[in-house]
Amino acid sequence: MAGPLAQGWGLGAALRSRAALRPLGLLAPPARGVLGPGAGSGSGEAGLEENPFYGKYRHKIQELRRSSPDVFESRMEKRSEVKKQPVGYSKQGEFIRCMEEKAEGLGAKTSKGGFTKDKTLDSILNVEMVKEKSAEEIKQIWNQYFSAKDTVYAVIPAEKFDLMWKRAQKCPSFLYALPRKEGYEFFVGQWSGTELHFTSLINVQTQGETAPSQLVLYHYPELQKEKGIVLMTAEMDSKFLVVHQAQCLANQAQLFYATDRSETYELVETFNHRSSEFKYMSVIAELEQSGLGRELRPGQVSDKS
């Protein structure tokens, strides 16, 4: 990644603004009045259109409606049911199992969404050759190689990744908040092996367990024991995310899974094991406190998506 997690950004103006706090694409009903009159009773695609990010997914939704009307109606009915349930209840378990099943049946190297299947470390660099180099030299090689590419990358200390990995086994999913001009768009993050897959909540709502990944973080622990480092890079769907947005999500993975702050990781545990107690606003508050995503907010750097 471009650097260590940003620190010191307090709970500022964004938390005082009702508009900036508006949750986008949530599974649970947002605060009363946020979506306007009639939102509580809206159903079907009309309800989806109230989501500020509906336009980004309109083509796929309408294509599904035309090609498989029964499937479309079924998913809209399920969406109405899910909206009555607490955030964290959504079928994340089915989502991750679907990804794992797809991984078991790998065929071509590139998936439908353009992501590389079986993206091994050997496909990026000569592992045997770099084993002769020091951890610092490998770090420089990795950073130099990816610095010229439009992607997210990092060299993670072994002990930090070890903590992330152990926690990912117990809590494989979490809800992340990406700052947008309109407020916050939520993404589901799912661990599948050492890969961390992200897709937007509205994607999960409309496509269910077949929702495609929009960002994948690839972690390579091959050098963890010998060199004390884990290499990471990523692939993203550029139609939905640009690098600095993907960077924000990647940084949040470390924020929530590698934190020493018990209150921060407790949000992850609650999301996975006590979903009825999960409060999505706590994620936004934690994000604000950390300072991550500050540059994505209106008045900082314009959102190019």
215-253 pLDDT tens trace: 999 999 999 999 999 999 999 999 999 999 999 999 999
The residue ranges of every structural domain in the chain are 92-104+119-296
Signed CA dihedral, 211, 236, 226, 109: sign only: positive
Residue 165: partners with Cβ closer than 8 Å, 6 or more residues away: 194, 221
Residue 108 DSSP symbol: S
Q: For CA atoms 75, 89, 56, 45, give the dihedral sign.
A: positive
Mean pLDDT of the chain, nearest integer: 74
Q: Which of 12-16, 155-159, 206-210, 247-251 shows the lowest per-residue confidence on average (mean pLDDT)?
A: 12-16
Regarding predicted confidence, which is higher, 131 or 21? 131
Structure tokens at 120: 């091994």
What percent of the chain is modeled with pLDDT above 90? Answer: 45
Buried b (16+ CB within 10 A) or exposed e, 281-297: ebbbbbbbbbbbbbebb
Closest-CA residue to 232 (of 121, 172, 155): 155
Q: What pLDDT is attached to residue 148?
A: 87
| Residue 56: per-residue pLDDT | 64
129/279 Cα distance (integer angstroms): 48
pLDDT digits (tens, 9 = 90+) for 10-46: 222 222 232 333 344 443 333 332 333 333 334 455 5
4/102: higher pLDDT: 102
Reported as half-sphere exposure (CB side, CA atoms, 13 A), residue 27 has a value of 29
Which residues neighbour 4 within 8 Å (Cβ) at sequence distance 6 or greater?
none
pLDDT at position 65 is: 72
- Residue 153 — very low, low, confident or very high, per pLDDT cuts 50/70/90? very high
Choice between 292 and 7, residue whose per-residue pLDDT is larger: 292
pLDDT for 115 equals 77
Instruction: Output the six-digit token pair for 104.
Output: 């078991």
Q: Which pLDDT value is given to residue 226?
A: 95
- Single out the residue of 258, 293, 264, 262 nearest to residue 157, CA to CA: 258
Q: For residues 163, 7, 277 and 269, what is the CA-based torsion angle, rounded to 10 degrees?
A: 0
Which distant-in-sequence residues (6+ apart) come within 8 Å of 105 by Cβ? none
Q: Compute the C-alpha angle 69/57/84, nearest 5°.
A: 70
Give residue 114's pLDDT.
64
Q: What is the pLDDT of residue 46?
A: 59
Tokens of 232: 């990471």
- pLDDT of 227: 96
Four-CA torsion 304, 140, 165, 163, nearest 10 degrees: -110
Q: Summarize the confidence of residues 263-290 as an average pLDDT.
A: 93
CA 177 – CA 30 distance, rounded (Å)? 14
pLDDT at 50: 61
Which stretches of the chain are assigned E, i.e. beta strand? 23-24, 153-157, 173-179, 184-192, 195-200, 215-220, 229-236
User: pLDDT > 70: what percent of the chain?
Assistant: 64
Q: What is the pLDDT of residues 37-87, one digit of tens each?
A: 333 334 455 556 666 566 666 676 777 777 777 776 777 766 655 444 444
Band (pLDDT 50/70/90 cuts) for residue 160 is very high
- Bridge partners of 173, per DSSP, are 190
Mean pLDDT, residues 244-268 taken together: 96
Q: Which of 83-87, 139-143, 180-184, 202-206 has the lowest mean pLDDT?
A: 83-87
- Count of alpha carbons within 13 Å of 90, Cβ hemisphere only? 35
Grade residue 159 by pLDDT with cuts at 50, 70 and 90: very high
Q: What pLDDT is attached to residue 172?
A: 96
